[in-house]
Structure 1
């Protein structure tokens, strides 16, 4: 799992471990360590690996990502990896560059495309916004087919372990489009606590990213939401797993039950 401690990677690792399959977590704190920014760590992390899940942090659309992924794919092939599963960004032209690198690798490959994870509201930097009672983003009334990270993990785990998924590109979405105001309303309903949505100007959101020590380039990714390119549903979950995707309301109810949205901000 190159990106094995993130939202999807740790879920995939858990799924595979429960099936009794050996898993190597690719992270800076793992043994051996893996760091996308330190190619000298790559060989040891890849030794003996048959199938690898690639989740590039922070995003494939950012400058330098395609070159880094290409170098890693070459190294993986040289170390004997036979199968690659790439987590890609839906609607991101730069992400397609990395997709094509994986397709041309000569290895078995599967592309898993997704955009906004439902879990961004509970496991990402938006958790503090939910806890504060105000969700402020530069998205206006744009709609998004929020995708559950558990669905992404199940698709990726299937692709890592079953050759029937080789050569497939799975575009994953939830079952319906919601605006961010709709998402806030679903969370409020599930928690019984108010959560309002506020539309920010791009420069205001840049200040938020800076406050959370996140790359300011991430603000550019919100154009993928506001220009409508991802405001459509896809059948990737159904094709890969033979079942419909999880709905955002189900995610909100299950997450509310964990208590993660009940605590107070420090």
Structure 2
């Protein structure tokens, strides 16, 4: 086992906890950090980052929800002797233009790509697991997912593939230094098609309904979301309607040498586990 330590930020999140498990399995010393981990890390408290960075040689970074903090993180990481950074960002971030969506991820990319450290950026499409572990799950359990997604498909990616890619890049940082990998699933599906597959596999009457971005933002606020956060999520769908992120890429094959997991495999696993049962 190497004495090098890899810092995994967002270690209790969808990707972070999976990345940490993979690294540990392969003998990497992992320092798992989040607001609720033994090693505490809070993006709003730069003065408390020192213990998380001490002795670290590589770090996996998930962009915080606001622009700016990653610039300070990169400065502290450099001073602490960190050599490698792997950043999770969003698919096609440099094509988002004047959209207000993703300013946090674009700021994080600027910080990482502008650093003197060895870096890799992994830009991922919407995770399959958003249907089971995030914003789309509760509506599906209730029987209806209402979104402003339209007919433009999205090449959803399994977060297990993302975690595999992160672990592979951290294992061979030199091979991926200075590279941006766009990670997607093998084919694009509309949200209506995805919900139909979930309904069929689960045997539950789940439907998809089209709403406007304004209606969706209003619904999120009524569910308890902050106004700014609700409009941010709605803006993602406005951006998706431009069609700039609809085509699958070969990013997973480039990094892992294999095809991505297919959406149906994810749906079957989740349905068998009872993910959408009321």
Per the normalisation by structure 1, the TM-score is: 0.92
Residue aligning to 2:32: 25
Residue aligning to 2:215: 204
Residues 130 and 261, structure 1, Cα contact 8 Å, conserved in 2: yes
Give the secondary structure class of the aligned counterpart of 1:232: coil
Residues 202 and 219, structure 1, Cα contact 8 Å, conserved in 2: yes
Cα distance in structure 2, aligned partners of 1:57 and 1:128 = 24
Q: Which runs of 5+ in 1 are unaligned?
A: 59-63
Residue aligning to 1:134: 144
What is the Cα deviation at residue 97 of structure 1? 4.2
Residues 150 and 210, structure 2, Cα contact 8 Å, conserved in 1: yes
Match of 1:228 among 243, 257, 270: 243
Cα distance in structure 1, aligned partners of 2:149 and 2:186 = 20
Residue aligning to 1:61: none
Residues 146 and 210, structure 2, Cα contact 8 Å, conserved in 1: yes
1:160 aligns with 2:167: no
Residue aligning to 1:260: 275
Residue aligning to 1:237: 252
Which of the pair is proportionally richer in strand?
2
Give the secondary structure class of the aligned counterpart of 1:54: strand
Cα distance in structure 2, aligned partners of 1:255 and 1:57 = 28
Per the normalisation by structure 2, the TM-score is: 0.88
For this pair of structures, how many residues does the alignment match? 257
Give CA deviations for 1:157-181 in whole Å, capped at 9, x if unaligned.
1111212222221100101110000
What is the Cα deviation at residue 212 of structure 1? 4.3
Give CA deviations for 1:170-217 in whole Å, capped at 9, x if unaligned.
100101110000000111121111211101111221123221436122
Give CA deviations for 1:107-152 in whole Å, capped at 9, x if unaligned.
1111100121110000002111110110111112121000110011
1:146 aligns with 2:156: yes
What is the Cα deviation at residue 26 of structure 1? 1.6
4+ long deviations beyond 4 Å: none
Cα distance in structure 1, aligned partners of 2:157 and 2:22 = 18
Cα distance in structure 2, aligned partners of 1:23 and 1:207 = 41
Q: Which runs of 5+ in 2 are unaligned?
A: 1-7, 97-102
Residue aligning to 1:117: 127
User: Cα gap change, 1:202/1:10 in structure 2, threshold over 3 Å: closer, same or farther?
Assistant: same
What is the Cα deviation at residue 100 of structure 1? 3.4
